[in-house]
C-alpha cells in the first residue's frame, strides 16, 4: 500500500510539473521518461496582397491596355484609391477654374463628376472639392513635355501654386528614371473627345458600324484597370455630347466621356522597357501637383 501511494504521489507531482499539457487520466508510468511539452509556435500574420495602382489616363492607349502586361506594381488598394480621389479633386479644381461650378453650364466639370460617380467617389468629397475650388488660392495649370529613355513621349499635366517647386520635382523624377524634359512632345498629341463603352461581345464590324452611326471619327480597342475590354470612340471635342447621346440611343452603356490627349503615333516597347516606363509614370503620378500623365506607349507584341 505504501509503495502504491508513493507511486501515485510521484505521478501527481509529474503532472503538476507538466502543467496544462497533461490531460486527466494521462499519468505517466512510474520511472518512465516524460517527453518535454511541445512549444507553441505562432503562425505569421496574414499579409494583404499588393494590387495595381489605378491609372487615370486610360484613353492614352490605343489598341489594348499596355499596362496589363506590367505585373507587381506597388501600392495597397486603399492608398491607390485615396490617390485617385485626390487626382479627381484636382480635376474638379481645373474644371471649375475654366468654366465655373455649375455642371449644367460646364461640360468639362460634368464629365469629371461622372467619372467620380463611376469610381464611387463619396458625394461629400465631391461637393467639398467643388467648394474648395471656388475658394482656393490662385494656382496655375501647366503641361510639361518629356521623353523617356526608350523614345516614348509624355505629357505631364500639373496644377500648382509654386511653379518652381513643381518644375524641380518633375525634373528630379525624370532624371532618376533616365528621362528628360523635351520641348515638342506636345505636337505628337491631339486633344480629342473620347467616349468609352464596354466592349464585351462587340465585334470589330459592329464597333465600326456604331462609330459611323454615332458620328465618331474612329473607334479603338482598349482595356480598363481590371483588363476588361473597352471601346473608345474618338471624336471632335465639340462633338462629345452628341456622340455620347447617339451611343446611348444605340443601346450602349457609357463608361466615361471626356477630353483626352490622343497620340498621333505610338512607340512600341518590349517588356523590360514597359516595366521601366511603368515605374516612371507611377513616380510622376505620386507627385502631389501632377494631375494626369499622357503617353504614346504601345506594348510590343
Domain contains 270: yes
Q: How confident is the model at residue 104 (pLDDT cuts 50, 70, 90)?
A: confident
Residue 262: its pLDDT value, please? Answer: 92
**Distance between CA atoms of residues 187 and 174, nearest Å:** 20
pLDDT tens across 205-221, in order?
999 999 999 999 999 88
The CA-atom distances, in angstroms, between 174 and each of 144, 151, 292 are 11, 13, 15
238 falls within a domain = yes
The cell for 244 is: 455620347
Q: Is 84 a domain residue?
A: yes
- 41, pLDDT greater than 60: no
Residue 8 lies in a domain: no
Would the pLDDT of 278 be above 80? yes
The answer to the question of residue 44 being in a domain is no
Contact criterion met (CB below 8 Å) for 94 and 115: no
Nearest to 229 by CA among 265, 191, 255: 255
Q: Could you tell me if residue 139 is inside a domain?
A: yes
What single string gives the DSSP state of each residue in 54-117?
Answer: P-S-GGG-SSS-GGGG-------HHHHHHHHHHHHHHHHHHHHHHH-S-TTT-HHHHHHHHHHH
Q: Is the pLDDT of residue 57 over 90?
A: no
On whether the CB atoms of residues 213 and 242 are closer than 8 A, the answer is no
- For residue 23, tell me if it sits in a domain: no
SS (H, E, C) 102-136: CCCCCHHHHHHHHHHHHCCCCHHHHHHHHHHHHHC
CATH of the domain at 136: 3.30.70.980
> pLDDT-derived band of residue 65, with 50, 70 and 90 as boundaries?
low
Domain span at residue 89 reads 58-299
Q: Which of the residue ranges 47-51, 93-97, 132-136 would you say has the lowest mean pLDDT?
A: 47-51
Residue 178, domain member (yes or no): yes
Q: How many domains does the chain have?
A: 1
Amino acid at each position: 500500500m505504501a509503495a502504491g501511494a508513493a507511486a501515485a504521489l510521484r505521478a501527481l507531482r509529474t503532472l503538476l510539473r507538466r502543467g496544462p499539457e497533461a490531460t486527466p487520466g494521462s499519468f505517466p508510468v512510474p520511472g518512465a521518461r516524460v517527453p518535454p511539452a511541445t512549444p507553441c509556435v505562432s503562425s505569421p500574420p496574414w499579409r494583404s496582397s499588393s494590387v495595381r495602382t489605378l491609372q487615370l489616363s486610360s484613353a492614352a492607349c490605343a489598341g489594348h491596355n499596355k499596362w496589363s502586361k506590367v505585373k507587381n506594381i506597388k501600392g495597397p488598394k486603399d492608398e491607390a484609391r485615396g490617390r485617385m480621389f485626390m487626382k479627381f479633386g484636382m480635376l474638379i479644381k481645373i474644371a471649375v477654374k475654366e468654366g465655373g461650378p455649375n455642371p449644367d453650364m460646364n461640360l468639362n466639370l460634368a464629365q469629371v463628376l461622372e467619372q467620380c460617380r463611376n469610381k464611387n467617389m463619396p458625394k461629400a468629397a465631391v461637393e467639398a472639392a467643388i467648394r474648395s475650388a471656388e475658394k482656393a488660392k490662385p494656382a496655375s495649370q501647366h503641361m510639361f513635355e518629356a521623353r523617356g529613355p526608350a523614345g516614348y513621349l509624355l505629357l505631364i499635366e500639373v496644377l500648382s501654386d509654386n511653379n518652381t517647386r513643381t518644375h524641380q520635382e518633375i525634373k528630379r523624377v525624370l532624371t532618376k528614371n533616365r528621362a528628360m524634359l523635351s520641348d515638342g512632345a506636345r505636337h505628337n498629341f491631339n486633344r480629342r473627345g473620347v467616349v468609352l463603352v464596354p466592349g464585351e461581345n462587340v465585334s470589330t464590324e459592329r464597333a465600326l458600324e456604331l462609330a459611323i452611326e454615332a458620328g465618331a471619327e474612329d473607334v479603338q480597342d482598349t482595356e480598363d484597370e481590371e483588363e476588361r475590354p473597352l471601346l473608345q470612340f474618338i471624336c471632335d471635342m465639340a462633338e462629345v455630347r452628341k456622340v455620347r447621346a447617339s451611343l446611348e440611343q444605340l443601346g450602349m452603356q457609357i463608361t466615361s466621356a471626356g477630353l483626352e490627349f490622343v497620340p498621333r503615333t505610338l512607340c512600341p516597347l518590349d517588356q523590360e522597357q514597359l516595366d521601366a516606363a511603368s515605374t516612371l509614370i507611377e513616380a510622376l503620378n505620386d507627385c502631389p501637383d501632377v494631375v494626369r500623365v499622357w503617353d504614346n506607349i504601345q506594348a510590343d507584341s
